Chains A and B, each alone.
Chain A
Amino acid sequence: MEEAVKAPVAEQEEYVINMGPQHPSTHGVLRLVVSLRGEIVRNVEPHIGYIHRGIEKMCESITYPQIIHLTDRMDYLSAHINNEAVCLAVEKALGIEVSDRVKYIRTILSELTRIQSHQLFWATFGMDLGGLTCFFYGLRDREMVLDIFEETCGGRMIVSYNCPGGLMNDIHPNFQNRTKEFIKYFRKTLPEYDRLLTGNVIFQERLRNIGTVTREQAIAWGLTGPVGRASGFSCDVRKHNPYSAYDRVTFNEILYKEGDSFHRYKVRMDEMWESMNIIEQLIDNIPPGAYAEKMKPVIKLPEGEYFQSVETARGELGVYIVSDGNKNPYRVKFRSPNFVHLAPLNLMSKGAKIADLVAINGSLDLIIPDIDR
């Protein structure tokens, strides 16, 4: 009799699989412990820390210019923007106003960084969904941005181009021409992305109403960047709290109400157009001036707490520095968008299929080293 009352074995037991830390769709060493019932996801438990390097702790024992090189290694696709965040925080603490030239160059490079990050997102997102061709299209165009970086910054991905007070060196003479060439080329190529993927029926069916987050949930979970804006949460730091030259350009903040995976993708696609608009407004008007302010050889921040947030390709990156007046900070805390975005993964993917979990994970565009730091 007892056995008859019990639910069937298949419904009692959970089929637990480990996605990761070595798995093609987690984009790095993220481990998701997924409880399944057939194809349906019942629970997702992210395990992080496989690439923890203790960046925040390391920052406490090195000087401010050195910290910049560590921030590259957090969200490596927004390397330049991460650098900028630390520089802005240090400059704010010291009360330094950088020249317009620096501001313009930083803004242009930030937007180029955003474009290449979204290109890689598009490439890998297509691959997550099984469209392998996207990967090569995305990387082909990203290569052009990386070449611009290489010429001006020396590095391709890990640029480390900023330093407190300005830039490491001046832009390459080719920089403006190459950037303009790229924009001209990419304005023609971006519609190709839409033709290959966005309009595809399978692609849309896979993503619409999958992993939906309402505006309230987005605010409650602290989702920012494309993830938050797809839910209708106006959170663009560039708009609300402009830094560098963002107060001198006109651009739209992309907002959607739906909050599903497809609109997270849409926000990024539209942001590439906006980034190109921003660059076009600035690229011909880079004012002359010094590329860096004169700084003391040893930078010591006055005692106090300093915070600066910037908009990386993934969302709001906050840099919080506590200084005790020494040449190294007392404490540094990074508010990284990816760590925050990982948290509601369980909420989004409960009741979805395994394939949806991969799609949701892809649409969050997580960078694992930024989660672990």
Chain B
Amino acid sequence: MKFSLYDFSSFTAWIDSSLRASMSPGWAVAVEMILIGIAILIFYAIVGLFLVYAERKVCALMQNRLGPNRVGPGGVFQTIADLVKLLFVELVPIKNADRALFNLAPFIVIIASFMAIGAIPFAKGLQAIDLNIGVFYLIAISSMGVIGVLLAGWASNNKYSLIGAMRSGAQIVSYELSVGLALVTMVVLAGTMQLSEIIEGQRWGWFIFKGHIPAVIAFVIYIIAGTAETNRGPFDLAEAESELTAGYHTEYSGIKFAFFFLAEYMNMFIVAAIATTVFFGGWMPFHVYGWDGFNAVMDFVPPLIWFLVKTFFVIFLMMWLKWTFPRLRIDQLLTLEWKYLLPINIFNLLLMAFLVLTGLHW
């Protein structure tokens, strides 16, 4: 086996067998679930905090500033300090708000992003669940967050929030199509929806190179639609601070606000991770067919590093977009989706199907 050096499946199999040796299979599964939950929670918190820090630094780079540089070396602990502050901030009770929905909304948003993380393959064998309909599952789960956004806008009894939620609903429902179709295009190329097999199919060339022009088009559309789906600039209409103050989370404070905030960054991470998996070969190192020495050197870099580097490259692209582009207007946003991206996408899907059928891809 080529990747035995960094294969996590032997590690997870060892945990599994040692648990099963000491308890009944039912309990073993339960303990494994709890372990996975804790692992994802810790990962979630670390990546979330790091992304907030990274965004501030990238934004500072774009804007001729230094960014956070006081707390810790290079300001790395700034986000932790901010989180601690957010934990102690008072949760302001809103008059005439629908208390139950108001409290439920941040959890729905954050749970949606939790569930998506479970299916993402970080390295070989380092994946909570390898569904045979992985791509489908991710598309389904990532559109659940909009329910939370809509609830937040509705339940906070604030007119700005309601407009924000309204916009967000229209936006996410529209761009869900583009995300889905762009991924379906790549599924046609891969011939499978299972994420581990999609990555395995990219051993001798990532799909963005393999799929010719349709793959590049699909990637561009995916990045646009993915940015829109995470409510980030230039598509941050739902929270457009110069128009709607903060949109759907205007009324949230303290840790509930932090949930929205963290979920936004984690959604960005998930979108980037899916892009990495489907277009850039996931954790698969860069291989060139026939160059065995080169490939061996590439294999020496751990797959987790490959995955994170590619993911953060995509995240950087998204941040770059956000900090250089002005915001779209709602009608332009919908026009872009329904009049341009969707037709291009459908045509692109047909083109990809044609390529695959005629065997023009390699």
- Interface residues, chain A, with chain B CB atoms under 8 Å away: 15, 17, 23-25, 36, 38-39, 126-133, 135-137, 140, 196-197, 200, 202-203, 205-206, 353-356, 358
Taking CB atoms, residues of chain B closer than 8 Å to A197 are 326
Inter-chain contact B163/A39, CB cutoff 8 Å? yes
Inter-chain contact A131/B326, CB cutoff 8 Å? yes
The answer to whether A202 and B241 touch (CB under 8 A), given A17-B160, A133-B323, A353-B330, is no
Inter-chain contact A353/B64, CB cutoff 8 Å? no
Q: At the interface, yes or no: B233 with Cβ under 8 Å from chain A?
A: yes
Inter-chain contact A133/B62, CB cutoff 8 Å? yes
Q: When the two chains form the complex, which single residue of B234, B241, B323, B327 contacts A24, counting CB atoms closer than 8 Å?
A: B241
Contact with A along B222-263 (1 / 0, CB 8 A): 000000000001101100111111000000000000000000
Q: Whole-angstrom distance from the CB of B51 to the nearest CB of chain A?
A: 18
Instruction: With a 10 A CB-CB cut-off, give which of A38, A126, A205 has the most chain B CB atoms.
Output: A205
Inter-chain contact B159/A126, CB cutoff 8 Å? no
Taking CB atoms, residues of chain A closer than 8 Å to B236 are 130
User: Known contacts A129-B242, A133-B323; can you find 9 more A-B pairs with CB under 8 A?
Assistant: A23-B245, A39-B163, A129-B326, A130-B327, A132-B233, A133-B62, A140-B64, A200-B325, A205-B332
Inter-chain contact B242/A358, CB cutoff 8 Å? yes
- Interface residues, chain B, with chain A CB atoms under 8 Å away: 59, 62-65, 159-160, 163, 166-167, 233-234, 236-237, 240-245, 323-332
- Ranked 10 nearest A-B pairs via Cβ: A130-B327, A131-B326, A129-B326, A136-B63, A355-B329, A25-B242, A17-B159, A130-B326, A128-B242, A203-B326
Q: Whole-angstrom distance from the CB of B241 to the nearest CB of chain A?
A: 6
Closest residue on chain A to residue B237 by CB atoms? A355
Q: When the two chains form the complex, which single residue of A23, A24, A38, A126 contacts B326, counting CB atoms closer than 8 Å?
A: A126
The answer to whether A132 and B323 touch (CB under 8 A), given A17-B159, A25-B242, A358-B242, is yes
Instruction: With a 10 A CB-CB cut-off, give which of B65, B160, B325 has the most chain A CB atoms.
Output: B325
Taking CB atoms, residues of chain A closer than 8 Å to B240 are 130, 355
Inter-chain contact A202/B242, CB cutoff 8 Å? no
The answer to whether A129 and B330 touch (CB under 8 A), given A39-B163, A354-B243, is no
The answer to whether A358 and B163 touch (CB under 8 A), given A130-B326, A206-B326, A206-B329, is no
Taking CB atoms, residues of chain B closer than 8 Å to A203 are 326
Q: When the two chains form the complex, which single residue of B64, B241, B243, B245 contacts A136, counting CB atoms closer than 8 Å?
A: B64
Closest residue on chain A to residue B322 by CB atoms? A132
Taking CB atoms, residues of chain B closer than 8 Å to A133 are 62-63, 323-324
Inter-chain contact A353/B331, CB cutoff 8 Å? yes
A131 to B327, CA, bound (A): 7
Closest residue on chain B to residue A18 by CB atoms? B159
A23 to B327, CA, bound (A): 18
Taking CB atoms, residues of chain B closer than 8 Å to A354 are 163, 243-244
Inter-chain contact A127/B325, CB cutoff 8 Å? no
Inter-chain contact A200/B65, CB cutoff 8 Å? no
Q: Whole-angstrom distance from the CB of B235 to the nearest CB of chain A?
A: 10
Inter-chain contact A131/B328, CB cutoff 8 Å? no
A126 to B63, CA, bound (A): 13
Taking CB atoms, residues of chain A closer than 8 Å to B244 are 354
Q: When the two chains form the complex, which single residue of B167, B327, B331 contacts A129, counting CB atoms closer than 8 Å?
A: B327
Closest residue on chain B to residue A135 by CB atoms? B63
Taking CB atoms, residues of chain A closer than 8 Å to B234 are 130, 202
A248 to B329, CA, bound (A): 45
Q: Whole-angstrom distance from the CB of A261 to the nearest CB of chain B?
A: 12
Closest residue on chain A to residue B63 by CB atoms? A136
Taking CB atoms, residues of chain A closer than 8 Å to B332 are 202, 205-206
Closest residue on chain B to residue A137 by CB atoms? B64
A36 to B162, CA, bound (A): 13
Taking CB atoms, residues of chain A closer than 8 Å to B63 are 132-133, 135-137
Taking CB atoms, residues of chain A closer than 8 Å to B163 are 17, 36, 39, 354
A130 to B231, CA, bound (A): 13
Inter-chain contact B326/A358, CB cutoff 8 Å? no
Inter-chain contact B324/A131, CB cutoff 8 Å? yes
Taking CB atoms, residues of chain B closer than 8 Å to A353 are 329-331
Q: Whole-angstrom distance from the CB of B228 to the nearest CB of chain A?
A: 13
Taking CB atoms, residues of chain B closer than 8 Å to A25 are 242-243
Closest residue on chain A to residue B233 by CB atoms? A130
Taking CB atoms, residues of chain B closer than 8 Å to A131 are 324-327
Closest residue on chain B to residue A126 by CB atoms? B326
Instruction: With a 10 A CB-CB cut-off, give which of B163, B240, B324, B329 has the most chain A CB atoms.
Output: B329
Taking CB atoms, residues of chain B closer than 8 Å to A358 are 242-243
Closest residue on chain B to residue A210 by CB atoms? B329
22 A–B contact pairs at CB < 8 A? A15-B159, A24-B241, A25-B242, A38-B166, A126-B326, A129-B242, A129-B326, A130-B233, A130-B236, A131-B325, A131-B326, A197-B326, A200-B325, A203-B326, A205-B329, A206-B327, A354-B243, A355-B240, A355-B327, A355-B329, A356-B329, A358-B243
Taking CB atoms, residues of chain B closer than 8 Å to A132 are 59, 63, 233, 323
Taking CB atoms, residues of chain B closer than 8 Å to A127 are 242
Inter-chain contact B326/A202, CB cutoff 8 Å? yes
Q: Whole-angstrom distance from the CB of B268 to the nearest CB of chain A?
A: 17
Q: Whole-angstrom distance from the CB of B318 to the nearest CB of chain A?
A: 15
A24 to B327, CA, bound (A): 15
Closest residue on chain A to residue B332 by CB atoms? A205
Closest residue on chain A to residue B236 by CB atoms? A130
A205 to B330, CA, bound (A): 12
Closest residue on chain A to residue B327 by CB atoms? A130
A358 to B243, CA, bound (A): 7
Q: Whole-angstrom distance from the CB of B101 to the nearest CB of chain A?
A: 20
A24 to B324, CA, bound (A): 20
Instruction: With a 10 A CB-CB cut-off, give which of B326, B329, B330, B332 has the most chain A CB atoms.
Output: B326
Taking CB atoms, residues of chain B closer than 8 Å to A200 are 325-326
Closest residue on chain A to residue B170 by CB atoms? A39
A25 to B264, CA, bound (A): 24
Q: Whole-angstrom distance from the CB of A139 to the nearest CB of chain B?
A: 10
Inter-chain contact B327/A196, CB cutoff 8 Å? no
Inter-chain contact A196/B242, CB cutoff 8 Å? no
Inter-chain contact B62/A355, CB cutoff 8 Å? no
A46 to B166, CA, bound (A): 25
Q: Whole-angstrom distance from the CB of A129 to the nearest CB of chain B?
A: 4
A125 to B231, CA, bound (A): 22
A137 to B65, CA, bound (A): 10
A237 to B344, CA, bound (A): 52
A355 to B333, CA, bound (A): 12
A130 to B240, CA, bound (A): 7
Taking CB atoms, residues of chain B closer than 8 Å to A129 are 242, 326-327
